[in-house]
Amino acid sequence: MKQGYLFKHWLTTLLLAPLMPSVYEFIFVPISGEIIELVDLYPVVFFYSLFFSLPTLIVYYIVFRLLNKGHVHPLLAKAILIGMSIAGICTTLLILGRGRLTETLILSFSVASIVAGCIFSIKSAPEAVGT
C-alpha cells in the first residue's frame, strides 16, 4: 500500500471540509445557527484542523502500518482507515465541546474524509516480474 495515500487523505480532508457547508447551502438550504461561513474563516479553520487532527493522524499512521504489514486487502484497508478517520473526527470535535456548529463540523469533515479516502488509490503499483 502506498504511504502517500495516508497524507493525501489527511490533507485533502482538511482542505475540503471547510468548503462542505457552503456547498450544502448552495445546493439545499442555509444551515441554521451558522453566523459566519466556514469559507470566510478558511485559513483559521485549516490551521486549527491541522493542529487538532494530529492525534488522529498518529493513530491513523499506526493502523495504516499494521494493515500494510498484515497484507490486508486494499479495499478493506481503505474502509477501515476511512472509518477510523471519521471516528477520530467525531471524538476530537466532541471532546472540544458541543457548540452550535459541532454537528456541522462533524458532518463536513466526515463527508470530506469519505470523498478524499475514495478518490485516491491505496494500492501500490504492481512490481515488474523479473526486475
pLDDT at position 83? 97
Q: Tens digit of pLDDT for each residue in 29-42?
A: 666 555 556 667 78
pLDDT at position 128? 45
Please report how many Cα atoms fall inside a 13 Å half-sphere around the Cα of residue 101, on the Cβ side.
14
pLDDT at position 30? 67
Please report how many Cα atoms fall inside a 13 Å half-sphere around the Cα of residue 51, on the Cβ side.
7
Q: CA-to-CA distance for 26 and 14, rounded, in angstroms?
A: 20
Higher per-residue confidence, 5 vs 26: 5
Please report how many Cα atoms fall inside a 13 Å half-sphere around the Cα of residue 31, on the Cβ side.
22
Sequence-ordered list of residues with C-beta below 8 angstroms from that of 14, at least 6 positions apart, any chain: 46, 49, 50, 53, 112
In this predicted structure, the answer to whether residue 88 has a pLDDT above a threshold of 80 is yes
Sequence-ordered list of residues with C-beta below 8 angstroms from that of 93, at least 6 positions apart, any chain: 102, 105, 106, 109
pLDDT at position 131? 46
